[in-house]
Structure 1
């Protein structure tokens, strides 16, 4: 891969620490979710992954829409990232909920969502490793 951009983040003290971007634009207090026995008084990696995947997929959907001559700028993508026990460790699962503009018919919209799933870098990164369910609402 020929890198076009590299983001750099540093985390200290794991799930109960801080995550800071190298350019200083983001400095987050991290906390383990209450559901996993933590305080829940901060953000966690699953939330950050959900936000990043949703934003990236929405951009990929915009690309596939433009290529097809269809305006998908009002589409929304909601990412849900779950963590749970898997084998001897932990694993992730993702649900992406896509709300397309009412002007786009279901068949065409579904095709564009499928195409976006093929070009989205996050989808490509997790394919074969993390189950991803796509729901077009």
Structure 2
């Protein structure tokens, strides 16, 4: 693979109760363990960051495949929900739900676009076989 761009971020402090900063300083956040996991909450957490990245990346992939299919994806929205929990092997795993709103596309075409985007999106390709990714499509009809 020819790498076109590399992002770099550094975590300091106490991991999930620490701080993250990208090398260029455009993202800089305190982190806190969510209340649901026994922490104080009140700050970002890695699952939120992953959800934001996946949602943006998938939306971009969706727009690429829609352009190729000459489909109108105006008003489209992608929401990524990232869950974390014990994986049964002593570690933790993630589960992702992608909710894709395509108000200007009929259901069958919308499902085809989402399936195609799932094949193109780098986050989908990275998680395939490792993370359960459920896709929910909301379409015009």
TM-score by length of 1: 0.97
- Map 1:1-137 → 2, pairs under 5 A: 1-12=1-12, 13-86=14-87, 87-101=89-103, 103-137=104-138
- Give the gaps of 5 or more residues in structure 2: none
Q: Distance in 2 between matches of 1:73 and 1:24?
A: 32
Task: Find runs of 4+ consecutive structure 1 residues off by over 2 angstroms.
Answer: none
Q: Displacement of 1:26 after TM fit?
A: 1.3
Q: Displacement of 1:72 after TM fit?
A: 1.2
TM-score by length of 2: 0.94
Superposed CA deviations along residues 61-106 of structure 1, whole A, max 9, x for unmatched, are 00010000112142100100000001211000000001002x3111
Give the 3-state SS of the residue equivalent to 1:128 in structure 2.
Answer: coil
> What is the total number of aligned residue pairs between the two structures?
136
- Give the gaps of 5 or more residues in structure 1: none
